[in-house]
Amino acid sequence: MIIDWTKTEFEAYVLLYAAQCNMLETEEERKYILSKVDEKTFNKVHTQIVFDKEEDILENIKEYLLINKFSQEEKRALIKDIKEVFFADGTVDKVEKSIFKTLQKILN
């Protein structure tokens, strides 16, 4: 897959993956993501993430990071945003904890 996302699209992709990793995207998670990206970007990326398989999602994230340089500060900010998505609905389940650890490894 050729990944030609903007930085905002990539961030939306990661945050939407975080929101959907437990098969339940809550309204609070959606609102948080929409506070970070515009609705057009959200809808574009949402359509893609719904159809991508989990293995493909993680590979897409890794590939994007290999091609595009993120500073440590940008990576820390994205990890913080991921954490905010997970806490947006007030609970963090086992799946979300596991995915958070995976995303932290990929981003560090």
Q: What is the pLDDT of residues 50-64, one digit of tens each?
A: 899 989 999 999 999
Domains, the chain, ranges and CATH? 7-107 (1.10.3680)
The whole-angstrom separation of Cα 89 and Cα 86 is: 7
How far apart are alpha carbons 97 and 1 in whole angstroms? 28
pTM of the model: 0.93
Distance between CA atoms of residues 107 and 81, nearest Å: 12
pLDDT tens, residue by residue, 66-97: 999 889 999 999 999 999 999 998 889 999 99
Sign of CA pseudo-dihedral 105, 46, 88, 39: positive
